[in-house]
């Protein structure tokens, strides 16, 4: 399984004076589900557009299936995209939308309509062929966008925050469906999101991006439990970063912060809030470091302004590099 | 329930407020129209005006070669002008919609600028450009393209240029307002699915800007059937169009009923075009104007 379907080699891209991607390189295996995770503006959509061919990099190359496609226009690449806003053609039926790519490939009409209904069945939209996009719900439009991108039989499917516009419940359901679809079809998925839960649930590997750089590339377990630097620890694990006296930093996740530890670090309670079954207690040390601790339930009795001490078990602390 | 009742009374009150508008429209628009149709069914008065004698003679008379040929000549000029206006105006409006908002404002100002001067005066400007040894001739001879004056004034091409000049802004604005609303990500999606630039244009951009193009056609084709003063000023009296003929029948021919019949036919053609537009674009709204 070490066949690389996609290789990014030393890619750089700037818009005007702004460098959006700084020398990024990546190898993606066939059938892999890989997620680009990062805050908005980190360069993940730019990377996707460079892979699809809608943008040309300033330097570096895109290798698809062993062939350098850097100079090829999007229509010559066997890669398709599910766009963030779906980008369904409003003047075409669902059938024409999904069959658009096949029609361009001059596939016979009878076969197009057969393939389209197969794919619509796959995304659970059988019977929607004659509907117009504006007659569909957001979730249904999403499925049409996925079906349309799959219809051409791409080697790599690019998904640009495809679930961003859906409500939480539908998003969870679609996450499972997408994962199932990817396993079934064996296509390489390159998925963009800013939601770390989504990335951890779905991916084989996660590329954590910030400021145009790949901060860490690894399995969900690696990026969650062994963050390489402060940014990854904070963005993926919601961890506290505690600076040490020797100049290094420790990342400790909120649930691993122990409170009222004899001989612990003194701090004052700044804020208390309750959400999603978790009590969130924000502390501040004398040096000004802010630390968040979480507890299940609401029975932890600490008042805002109260002094207490906190600490952690050594095995729960991970040494991380500065960004 | 309460809100529904409120809505009803609200609607009733605002409908009442519209009454003066409908009355004005009725009197000032529908009235003259009906009068014209009525007039077209009358007989010609001996010296002036008409005799109250219902007849279809006027319409029959329009079938005579003289009038029929004028209709066809007008149609031909209108079609030619409209075709050229599409070729110039569509790309203009399209590219204008892709400019930055600063440049859009500047372009819009440039397009609007000529409207601050009377169209008749601007048309006389063209005489200076086109006349023998005028601006254009001098420029062409200076550049060595020609060695003698072309005598373009009072020719067919001069009239066509005048038509294009007068009507191009309407096409540009109609296409622009349609292209402005275009979601360009759809073009990305088409390219991503395998469409070349050209194919993406013909299958996505063109259909989605069609309402603008169609309303541009309406806004140029219909007036170009009637803009007689352009043909008069730039074409001398060699090119007679429906518009000039209507004016002629009224002033010199003193044949009011025939003139009315001609106007009714012209109006029927216009209405047919508008009906067609509604059919195709499924809207009664003219892009770029309303």
Tokens for B32?
């003259």
- Indicate yes or no: CB of B199 within 8 angstroms of CB of A104: yes
Q: How distant is the Cα of A87 from the closest Cα of chain B, in angstroms?
A: 5
Q: Which CATH architecture has domain A4-225?
A: 3-Layer(aba) Sandwich (3.40)
- Model ipTM? 0.84
Residue count of chain B, please give it. Answer: 290
Q: Which of B186, B194, B208 sits opposite A75 (nearest CB)?
A: B194
First to last CA, chain A: 33
* A74 vs B186, B191, B207: nearest CB: B191
Plot region of A94 (φ>0 → left; ψ -120 to 50 → alpha; else → beta): alpha
Structure tokens at B111: 């397009």
pLDDT digits (tens, 9 = 90+) for B51-102: 888 888 889 999 999 889 988 988 899 999 999 999 999 999 999 999 999 9
Per-residue pLDDT of chain A (323 residues; tens, 9 = 90+): 457 899 999 999 999 888 999 999 999 999 999 999 999 889 999 999 999 999 999 999 999 998 999 999 999 999 999 998 899 999 999 999 999 999 999 999 999 999 999 999 999 999 999 999 999 998 999 999 999 999 999 999 999 999 988 888 888 899 999 999 999 999 999 999 999 989 999 999 999 999 999 999 999 999 998 999 999 998 998 889 988 877 788 999 998 999 888 888 999 999 888 887 888 899 999 888 899 998 887 777 778 888 999 999 988 888 888 76
Mean pLDDT of chain A: 91
**Four-way CATH pick for A242-320: 2.30.42.10, 3.40.50.1110, 2.40.50.140, 1.10.1040.10:** 2.40.50.140
Residue B181 C-alpha from the chain's centroid:
23
Q: Tell me the C-alpha to C-alpha distance, in Å, between residue A237 and each of A234, A253, A318, B181.
A: 6, 7, 11, 42
- One of 3.40.47.10, 2.60.40.680, 3.40.190.10, 1.10.3720.10 is the CATH number of B64-281, namely 1.10.3720.10
- At residue B50, the pLDDT reads 83
> What's the confidence (pLDDT) of residue B282?
67
CB A226 within 8 A of CB A305: no
Q: What is the DSSP string of B205-243?
A: IHHHHHHHHHHHHHHHHHHHHH-HHHHHHHHTTTS--HH
d(CA A54, nearest CA chain B) in Å: 7
Which tokens in the block code for residue A322?
A: 């500065």
DSSP type of residue A28: E
Q: Does A75 touch chain B (CB under 8 A)?
A: yes
CB atoms within 10 A of CB B217: 20
- For CATH 3.40.50.300, the residue range(s) in chain A are 4-225
CB A6 within 8 A of CB A63: yes
Rounded CA separation B259/B79 (Å) = 23
Query: CB–CB of B194 and A90 under 8 A?
Result: no
Cβ–Cβ below 8 Å for B185 and A100: no
Residues of chain A found within 8 Å of residue B203, distances taken between Cβ atoms: 100
> Quick count: other Cβ atoms within 10 Å of Cβ B179?
22
Answer yes or no: do A54 and B192 touch at CB < 8 A.
yes
Residue-range domain boundaries for chain B: 64-281
Enumerate the residues of chain A whose CB falls inside 8 A of the CB of residue B192.
Answer: 52-54, 74-75, 79-81, 149
């Amino acid at each position: 399984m070490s066949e690389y379907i996609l290789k990014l080699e030393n890619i750089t891209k700037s818009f005007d004076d702004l460098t959006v991607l700084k020398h990024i390189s990546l190898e993606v295996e066939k059938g892999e589900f890989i997620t680009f995770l990062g805050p908005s503006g980190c360069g993940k959509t730019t990377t996707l557009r460079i892979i699809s061919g809608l943008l040309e990099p300033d330097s570096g190359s895109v290798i698809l299936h062993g062939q350098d496609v850097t100079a090829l226009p999007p229509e010559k690449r066997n890669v398709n995209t599910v766009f963030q806003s779906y980008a369904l053609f409003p003047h075409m039926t669902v059938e024409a939308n999904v069959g658009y790519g096949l029609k361009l490939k001059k596939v016979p009409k009878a076969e197009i309509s057969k393939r389209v209904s197969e794919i619509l069945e796959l995304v659970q939209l059988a019977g929607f062929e004659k509907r117009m996009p504006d007659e569909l719900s957001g979730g249904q439009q999403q499925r049409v966008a996925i079906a349309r991108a799959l219809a051409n039989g791409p080697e790599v499917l690019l998904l640009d925050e495809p679930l961003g516009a859906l409500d939480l419940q539908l998003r969870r359901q679609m996450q499972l469906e997408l994962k199932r679809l990817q396993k079934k079809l064996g296509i390489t998925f390159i998925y963009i999101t800013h939601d770390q839960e989504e990335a951890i649930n779905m991916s084989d590997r996660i590329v954590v991006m910030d400021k145009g750089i790949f901060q860490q590339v690894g399995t969900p377990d690696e990026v969650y439990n062994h963050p390489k630097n402060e940014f990854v620890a904070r963005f993926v694990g919601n961890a506290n970063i505690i600076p040490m006296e020797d100049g290094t930093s420790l990342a400790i996740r909120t649930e691993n912060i122990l409170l009222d530890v004899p001989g612990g670090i003194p701090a004052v309670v700044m804020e208390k809030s309750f959400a999603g079954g978790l009590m969130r207690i924000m502390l501040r040390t004398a040096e000004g470091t802010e630390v968040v601790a979480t507890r299940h339930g609401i029975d932890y009795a600490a008042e805002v302004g109260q002094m207490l001490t906190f600490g952690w078990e050594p095995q729960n602390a991970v040494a991380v590099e500065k960004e | 329930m309460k809100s529904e009742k409120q809505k009803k009374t609200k609607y009733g009150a605002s409908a009442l407020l519209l009454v003066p508008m409908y009355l004005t429209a009725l009197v000032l628009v529908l009235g003259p129209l009906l009068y014209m149709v009525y007039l077209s069914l009358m007989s010609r008065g001996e010296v002036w005006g008409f005799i109250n004698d219902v007849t279809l003679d006027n319409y029959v008379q329009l079938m005579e070669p003289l009038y029929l040929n004028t209709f066809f000549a007008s149609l031909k000029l209108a079609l030619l002008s409209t075709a050229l206006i599409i070729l110039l105006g569509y790309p203009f409006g399209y590219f204008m919609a892709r400019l930055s908002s600063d440049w859009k404002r500047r372009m819009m100002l440039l397009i609007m600028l000529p409207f601050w001067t009377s169209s008749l005066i601007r048309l006389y400007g063209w005489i200076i450009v086109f006349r023998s040894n005028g601006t254009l001739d001098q420029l062409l001879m200076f550049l060595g393209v020609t060695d003698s004056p072309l005598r373009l004034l009072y020719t067919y091409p001069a009239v066509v240029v005048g038509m294009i000049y007068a009507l191009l802004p309407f096409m540009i604005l109609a296409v622009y307002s349609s292209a402005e609303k275009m979601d360009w990500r759809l073009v990305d999606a088409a390219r991503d699915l395998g469409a070349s630039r050209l194919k993406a244009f013909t299958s996505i951009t063109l259909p989605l800007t069609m309402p603008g193009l169609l309303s541009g056609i309406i806004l140029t084709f219909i007036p170009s059937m009637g803009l007689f003063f352009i043909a008069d000023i730039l074409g001398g009296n060699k090119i007679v169009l429906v518009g000039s003929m209507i004016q002629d029948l009224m002033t010199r021919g003193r044949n009011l009923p025939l003139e009315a019949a001609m106007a009714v036919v012209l109006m029927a053609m216009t209405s047919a075009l508008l009906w067609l537009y509604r059919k195709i674009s499924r809207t009664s709204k003219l892009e770029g104007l309303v």
